[in-house]
Amino acid sequence: MTAARITLLHVLLTPSAVFARWRDETPSAARIFFGMALWLLLCPPLFAYIGTSAFGWHLGVEPIELTRRAMLGISVAYFALLVFGLFSTAFISRWMAGTYGAKQAFGPHLALITIVGAPLAVGSIVHMYPHAFLNVVVLVPVLIWSMYLLYRGLPVVLETDQGRGMLMASALIAYLLVAWVGLLGVTVVLWSRGIGPMTGA
């Protein structure tokens, strides 16, 4: 299996082989992004748009219906945030590399984050029925699986020892948690000021 032939099924079913292949071949950032990451990033916004169009948001008992313009705006913003999250996490990972004795090339860092995020992209099919409780029930175990892949794959792809790899993976998770909380805070402030989707037909 060469890096050019790695598919989503390989990433999901044989992640260890993918980790080893990308360690050996050092993929370029462009090949990783246009070959796999871009298509994975498109899945959650697309599923969310389809699900919201058909069923509305279920945050409580009654569904929240949104206008087509609002749904499209949310989906585009969702995609933009995912792209930013992918690249910012890969850049943070590369920035940490010197401290933890890991590879400095950007491609392997982007490849690692792509592999780690693949289960979440596939699990986002649950957005097809955007009920808050259902999404939490499905995505929390998927998130745990992604964290496992990060801890397991980082030392392999970035060629550092297990101890340093565990510390680096923990640091990346801390960054993601802080970024997530910050995003929630910004969202609350914007929506409280009337900047957000308006319900309607």
Of 180, 123, 128, give the one whose Cα is nearest residue 149: 123
Nearest Cα to Cα of residue 65 among 198, 191, 192: 198
Higher pLDDT pick, 187 / 108:
108
Mean of the pLDDT values across residues 56-64?
Answer: 68
141 has a pLDDT exceeding 90: yes
Taking 80 as the threshold, does the pLDDT of residue 9 lie above it?
no
Residue 95's CB: how many other CB atoms inside 10 A?
Answer: 11
Weakest-pLDDT range from 35-39, 146-150, 151-155, 182-186: 182-186
Are 179 and 88 contacting, i.e. CB atoms less than 8 angstroms apart? Answer: yes
Residue in 8, 18, 7, 26 with CA at minimum distance from that of residue 158: 26
- Is the pLDDT higher at 105 or at 61? 105
Rounded Cα distance between 24 and 18, Å, is: 10
Q: What is the mean pLDDT of residues 128-157?
A: 89
Those residues whose C-beta lies under 8 Å from the C-beta of residue 1, and which sit 6 or more positions away, are 10, 17, 21
d(CA 157, CA 111): 8
What is the spatial distance between Cα 148 and Cα 169, in angstroms, rounded to a whole number? 10
Residue 143 burial (CB < 10 Å; 0-12/13-18/19+)? middle
Confidence (pTM): 0.85
**Pairwise CA distance, residues 61 & 89, whole Å:** 36
| Mean pLDDT computed over every residue of the chain | 84
Beta bridge partners of 57: 64
